Amino acid sequence: MAETRVRIRKRKTLTDQLYGQILEQIVSGQLQEGDKLPSEHQICDAFAVSRPVVREALRRLQEDHLIESRRGVGSFVRKRPPQGLIEYASADSVAGLMRAMEARMTVESATARMAAQRADSADLTKISDALDALEQSMALRQPSRDPDFAFHLAVAEASHNEVYVAMLQSAQEVMQRAIDVAQSITRGGSQARVDRVLLEHRQIYEAILSRDAEAAGLSMAYHLLQARQRITDHAREE
């Protein structure tokens, strides 16, 4: 059992490393948009990893919209992420950050929905205060991880279910690193991008304030979807 666990962890590490190595080649331009990747077989040989590791890494690169797999043809580079991505995070850690964003979408759409139904006035003040702090910090183009995390935690607390809060805290470290990366990229981006990030947070707050559970859950899911795409998406926002 313990040995199985070690093997799983090792395979995950290898997968994340392979993901990171292919990512680096895309970011550096060694692999260009439209380029075909080597075959699964060639990747196995080149990186000395097993077939399942290659498949998992390719599956994730595709889910993160970085490559596109065409059945029976092969995999192709879809888009080139911003240089900043592998400056702000080690390439090995990017796959893990994306998984953290996936898990956040699940948990935080639920907390936003419930916050709209259950928040009392103290909760609303706390969310609103975090939003104000985030707006001030981002207006000054300062690192804004703490008010950002505080906003999301305040929404979770307004769900009045401490199990969700504990879940977010159990993933706090990787969540905060994901926020750091996204914030760093945004901070170097256009004013329009900064405005959009703030608007997304404001919409979540307003939906909660309006007691509109569906809108709150949806606005949170949309915000995290956008945040996830901002991490790997170069061109759109400039």
Q: Does 39 bind its own copies (CB under 8 A)?
A: no
65 or 187, CB closer to its own copies?
A: 65
Q: Does 129 bind its own copies (CB under 8 A)?
A: no
Q: Does 110 bind its own copies (CB under 8 A)?
A: yes
Q: According to CB under 8 A, which one of 103, 124, 133, 198 is a site residue for its own copies? A: 103
- Phi then psi dihedrals of residue 36, to 5 deg: -90, 135
Q: Quick check: 232 and 64 in contact, CB under 8 A?
A: yes
Place of tokens 């990893």: 49
Q: Does 218 bind its own copies (CB under 8 A)?
A: yes
Tokens in use for 2?
A: 């313990």
Tokens in use for 52?
A: 């399942």
87 or 155, CB closer to its own copies?
A: 155
Q: Which stretch binds its own copies (CB under 8 A): 37-45, 62-70, 134-142, 179-187?
A: 62-70
6 or 87, CB closer to its own copies?
A: 6
12 or 234, CB closer to its own copies?
A: 12
Report, in Å, the least distance between residue 77 CB and its own copies: 13
**Cα–Cα distance measured from residue 204 to residue 224, given in angstroms and rounded to the nearest whole number:** 11
3-state helix, strand, coil in the chain (%, to 5): 75, 5, 20
**Cα–Cα distance measured from residue 49 to residue 18, given in angstroms and rounded to the nearest whole number:** 9
Q: At what angle do helices 162-170 and 172-187 cross, to 10 degrees?
A: 70
- Phi then psi dihedrals of residue 29, to 5 deg: 90, 0
15 or 183, CB closer to its own copies?
A: 15
Q: Does 193 bind its own copies (CB under 8 A)?
A: no
The number of residues that bind its own copies (CB under 8 A) is: 40
Buried b (16+ CB within 10 A) or exposed e, 109-146: bbbbbbbbebbeeebbebbeebbebbbebbeeeeebbe
68 or 92, CB closer to its own copies?
A: 68
Residues interacting with its own copies, by CB under 8 A?
A: 8, 12, 52, 56, 59, 63, 65, 68, 71, 78, 99-100, 102-103, 106-107, 110, 118, 120, 157, 160-164, 166-167, 169-171, 174, 210, 212, 214-215, 218-219, 221-222, 225
